[in-house]
Amino acid sequence: MTDCLFCKIASRAIPAALVHEDDQLVAFRDINPQAPTHVLIIPRRHISTLDELEADDDVTVGAMVRLAAAIAREEGFAAAGYRTVFNCNADGGQTVFHIHLHLLGGRPLTWPPG
Ligand code: AMP
Ligand code: ZN
């Protein structure tokens, strides 16, 4: 989608601190980190919200979660623990309408979130 910030990051039209990229997914550091490590994992293909997911997307979403776990291991806090979050629509706090998995780690995280 031409007018989507995260599509532009995926295509490198807008720079970001990339952590990982492959033919399906891109991961980059959040510009406003909420933890010592705050990475966003996105599919290259534009999907606006979790509400739009279809059965064909299961492999992509599974790969997103496994990539979060791999980055947590690389960043050194997998055993200590971390959080993964998908925000969906307004009440969920979604501000960028291209699905993204937040990976937060490197400090103890409180529960429940705000
Ligand atoms: P959400 O509120 O779940 O939609 O999350 C969107 C996230 O994107 C927020 O944590 C923002 O800080 C982050 N963000 C917005 N613009 C950029 C950008 N240009 N590069 C990296 N992260 C961004
Ligand atoms: Zn997009």
List residues near ligand 1 (CB under 6 A).
Answer: 5, 16, 28, 30-32, 40, 87, 93-96
Q: Is residue 113 part of a domain?
A: no
> What's the pLDDT at 31?
98
Ranges of residues in the chain with a pLDDT under 50 are none
With respect to residue 111, please indicate whether it lies within any of the assigned structural domains.
no
Ligand nearest to the CA of 16: 1
Q: For residue 2, what pLDDT is reported? A: 81
Residue ranges making up the domain that contains 71: 5-105
CATH number of the domain at 23, please.
Answer: 3.30.428.10
Q: Where are the beta strands (DSSP E) in the chain?
A: 18-21, 25-29, 37-43, 82-85, 101-105
- Say how far apart CA 19 and CA 16 lie, in whole Å: 9
Convert 58-71 to b/e letters by CB count within 10 Å (16 or more is b): eebbeebeebbeeb
Query: To test ligand 1's pocket by mutation, which of 7, 30, 103 has the most ligand atoms within 8 angstroms of CB?
Result: 30
Give me the residue label for tokens 């409180």. 110
pLDDT tens digits, one per residue of 17-47: 999 999 999 999 999 999 999 999 999 999 9
**Which residues have a beta carbon within 5 Å of ligand 2, which is an ion?**
1, 4, 6-7, 46, 98
Total domain count, the chain: 1
* pLDDT reported for residue 90: 97
pLDDT value for 30: 99
Q: Does residue 99 form part of some domain?
A: yes
Residue 114 lies in a domain: no
Residue 74: both structure tokens together: 């690389």
Q: Residue 79 and residue 27: Cα distance in Å, rounded?
A: 21
Does 112 reside within a domain?
no
